[in-house]
Amino acid sequence: MEQSLVLVKPDGVQRGLIGEVISRLERRGLRLVAAKFSQVSQELAETHYAIHQGKPFYEGLIKYITSAPVMAMVWEGPNAVAAIRQTMGATRPTEAAPGSLRHDFALEVGRNLTHASDTVENGGKEVALWFKPQELVSWGRDADKWIFEK
């Protein structure tokens, strides 16, 4: 099953939006696999955002993600990566589709509430970076057959 890392970033946690993010993903039909509330270390932040190293916003990004706790989760489902990115909305809140989280709750790219993996391959890598294999729960939901076609 396709999996994505999802983070409710420090602004989302401080603004009391953890429940809103979880609610939207649950409502969409995605299945929760793992969750932990934690303070992100400098080392984890730098590894997670290694691809952005050297960009003008990099230092601010690391400061932001390490500034307060985050809610880190793994969600799965058919087309989970694309579905979750759509539920989050475009990186820049002013370009995010109406009804998406970033549209409905954010204004600035540097305070855009959430992170979600951008490809299936990165989903796998990010899940492995943030969670130990034994922290991932493999389970069946009674409603799965009404949400997942196969």
Residues classed as catalytic? 115
> Which of Mg ion, ligand DAT, none binds 74 (CB below 5-8 Å, type-dependent)?
none
> Which of Mg ion, ligand DAT, none binds 109 (CB below 5-8 Å, type-dependent)?
ligand DAT
Which parts of this chain interact with ligand DAT (CB under 6 A)? 52, 57, 61, 91, 109-110, 112, 115, 118
We find the least distance from the C-beta atom of residue 87 to ligand DAT, in angstroms, to be: 12
Element (H, E) at 20: helix 18-28
What is the residue type of 108? Answer: E
We find the least distance from the C-beta atom of residue 91 to ligand DAT, in angstroms, to be: 3
Q: Given the rule CB under 5 A, which of 42-50, 105-113, 116-124, 128-136 is the region that contacts Mg ion?
A: 116-124
Residue length of the chain: 150
We find the least distance from the C-beta atom of residue 110 to ligand DAT, in angstroms, to be: 4
CA dihedral 130, 133, 137, 139 (to 10 degrees): 130
- Nearest CA to 2 out of 102, 82, 64, 88 is that of 82
Q: Given the rule CB under 5 A, which of 6-14, 36-44, 67-75, 114-122 is the region that contacts Mg ion?
A: 114-122
Q: Considering beta carbons, is residue 56 or 140 the nearer one to ligand DAT?
A: 56
> Which of ligand DAT, Mg ion, none binds 57 (CB below 5-8 Å, type-dependent)?
ligand DAT
CA 84 to chain CA centroid, nearest Å: 8
Give me 148's structure tokens.
């997942």
**Alpha helix locations (H) across 53-147?**
58-65, 80-88, 101-105, 120-130, 144-147
